[in-house]
Amino acid sequence: MGPPGCGKSTLASRLISSSKNSCGLDYSQYFFSSRPLRYKYGYYLLSFITKNKVKPLIKETSRGEALYTYISNNPRFVSEVGQIVKRMDSLSVTVFFFYGASKQQIAQSMSEDGRLIIIDEGLYHYGAHGLSKTKGDLHQNYTHFSSYFDTIPTPHILVNVDASIETSLERQKKRGDEINRFDRSILKKQKRHRQACGIVAEKTNSKTITIQNDSSVDSSMKKLLDKLERVS
């Protein structure tokens, strides 16, 4: 997990390709469909929460079936996300929780052969993302998310990737995001996302690694692999 532009997807992709006994879902592998279709799936998850009838789109891709399987097998997850959505009144946040749920189910299906599963932006990341979107003190707001984090599967190792705001904004700009580094709202978003990730990393029962990713990919990968070896 980590704020936008910190380089978490780059590190996840490199980690997946470098490990012989692992498989995973990095950003490019997961988001293979168009943005409108992703939002339709978000509406489907919202229908489970609000009890409204939305035309099922669940069979259109393997990712859709993964979402159906996960939410069917984890009613507490849907309940906890429902409580968060009611407080935040935001469909976009619901869509992010959908991403996490479907990734989790896909990962579970991939792990049957005993290999290590690496998930780029999983349920913990989207929980931190949702927390960062709340108003007011994030430490106090975490109490509304604690049941959610108690409900979702705990990873063996949680990697919290960070980078300076300047580095993150520059990376976002290079990948095509419309970034104005003098926009106070963007700076606030970056700061709150970092704070939220720090709180989640502090509170989790999972083993946690924090990587400062301002240097080259090779340098950050070396730090990550060294830390993984120590905590594994």
More confident residue, 108 or 8: 8
The two structure tokens encoding residue 50: 């609000």
Confidence (pTM): 0.80
- For 123-171, the pLDDT digits (tens) are 999 899 989 988 899 999 999 899 999 988 888 899 999 999 999 999 9
Over range 21-48, report the average pLDDT.
52
pLDDT of residue 55: 43
pLDDT of residue 6: 94
**HSE (side-chain half, CA atoms, 13 Å) at 68:** 10
Coarse DSSP helix, strand, coil percentages of the chain, rounded to the nearest 5 percent? 65, 10, 30
More confident residue, 38 or 190: 190
**Domain segments of the chain: what residues?**
8-231
Over range 75-83, report the average pLDDT.
81
pLDDT band, very low/low/confident/very high, at 33 (cuts 50, 70, 90): very low
| pLDDT exceeds 70 at position 82 | yes
pLDDT of residue 80: 84
Distances (CA, A) of 102 to 3, 46, 107, 176: 21, 14, 9, 26
Q: Provide the b/e sequence for 106-140 (b: ≥16 CB within 10 Å).
A: bbeeeeeeeebbbbbbbbbbbbbbbbbbbeeebee
What is the spatial distance between Cα 58 and Cα 41, in angstroms, rounded to a whole number? 7
- Hey, what CATH class is 8-231 in? alpha beta
What is the spatial distance between Cα 71 and Cα 63, in angstroms, rounded to a whole number? 12
